[in-house]
């Protein structure tokens, strides 16, 4: 199995001075500043490479598409970034990824061994998408949880399937050539529109959800995937920084299901990064 490289992000990032970050917070982040009792249970975190004490990131202006790390394929990223059911949501391939816990995500490049804990502060107008588990791969509770869909080295009783491995197995079973482009949506779209799925056993394997076949024979494979992977159907949430921090505050970090220990989120519009170790300093200066 050949995996994609560790991570491919070319973020539109600008280092800020303390004075600049304070001015940006005052102008664009009043929802964060007014949020009561800010603490580790409701803050938004990203473990990243060194970007300075403060940074401004506008993910949608990145110079290249984000490619999913550790994945057998990037097709799931293209689907979620382009399916009609995901219109109006932040595009995964043009987004910054973060989570509700400092330990949940690791986003350094394959060339960096430095880990820095940043607090992520979306602008007031920035929309944030959030899944119901600690890893985006496992946030699709409506896809079948069959052996192999969990990923390599995972136990057969793994609590949730992986969207990446589900899509990879589907493509292989349909004998769609493995040389499909990892970042070319139009070619992937054409492949999924033109590939016919008529084998009833395969339809059952890939589209049976809790005993019900979620498949319409009058629609293309792409249209059926659009229906199965719908964000509302799979319990994703879309909101601003306030609603995201509210979601995070409800997470039970001691849940026996380790996939529920944190939530993963992403956005494609502007955010500020502040080193966690510097947050109190900035908040104290704003209060004085």
Domain boundaries, the chain: 13-287
Query: In this predicted structure, what is the pLDDT of residue 181?
Result: 67
pTM: 0.90
Query: In this predicted structure, what is the pLDDT of residue 8?
Result: 44
Cα-based distances in Å from 195 to 73, 190, 271: 18, 8, 40
- Classified as helix, coil or strand, 205 is helix
Residue 285 confidence (pLDDT) above 50: yes
Give the percent of the chain with pLDDT over 70.
89
127 in Cβ contact with 60 (< 8 Å): no
DSSP class of residue 110 equals T
Query: In this predicted structure, what is the pLDDT of residue 5?
Result: 32
Contacts 24+ apart (CB under 8 A), 188-194: 188/75, 188/78, 188/79, 189/82, 189/222, 192/220, 192/221, 192/222, 192/225, 193/220, 193/221, 193/222
Residue 176 confidence (pLDDT) above 80: no
The owner of tokens 């990145």 is 62
Query: In this predicted structure, what is the pLDDT of residue 114?
Result: 67
**Helix axis angle, 75-82 relative to 163-173, nearest 10°?**
110
- Distance CA(33)–CA(23), nearest Å, equals 12
């Amino acid at each position: 199995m050949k995996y994609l490289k560790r991570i491919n992000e070319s973020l539109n990032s600008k280092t800020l001075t303390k004075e600049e970050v304070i001015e940006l917070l005052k102008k664009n982040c009043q929802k964060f500043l007014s949020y009561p009792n800010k603490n580790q249970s409701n803050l938004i975190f990203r473990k990243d490479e060194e970007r300075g004490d403060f940074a401004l990131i506008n993910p949608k202006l990145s110079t290249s598409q984000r490619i999913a790390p550790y994945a057998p394929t990037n097709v799931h990223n293209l689907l979620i970034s382009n399916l009609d059911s995901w219109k109006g949501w932040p595009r995964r391939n043009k987004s910054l990824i973060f989570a509700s816990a400092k330990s949940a995500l690791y986003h350094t490049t394959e060339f960096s061994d430095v880990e820095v804990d940043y607090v992520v502060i979306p602008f007031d107008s920035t929309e944030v998408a959030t899944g119901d588990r600690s890893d985006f791969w496992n946030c699709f509770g409506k896809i079948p949880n069959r052996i192999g869909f969990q990923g390599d080295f995972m136990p057969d009783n793994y609590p949730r399937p992986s969207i990446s491995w589900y899509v990879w197995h589907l493509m292989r079973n349909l004998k769609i050539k493995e040389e499909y482009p990892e970042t070319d949506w139009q070619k992937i779209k054409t492949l999924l529109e033109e590939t016919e799925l008529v084998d009833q056993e395969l339809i059952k394997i890939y589209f049976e959800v809790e005993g019900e076949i979620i498949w319409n024979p009058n629609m293309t494979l792409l249209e059926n995937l659009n229906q199965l992977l719908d964000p509302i159907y799979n319990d994703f949430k879309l909101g601003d920084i306030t609603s995201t921090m509210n979601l995070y505050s409800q997470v039970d970090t001691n849940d026996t299901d380790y996939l529920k220990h944190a939530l993963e989120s992403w956005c494609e519009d502007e955010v500020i990064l502040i080193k966690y170790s510097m947050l109190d300093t900035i908040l104290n200066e704003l209060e004085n």
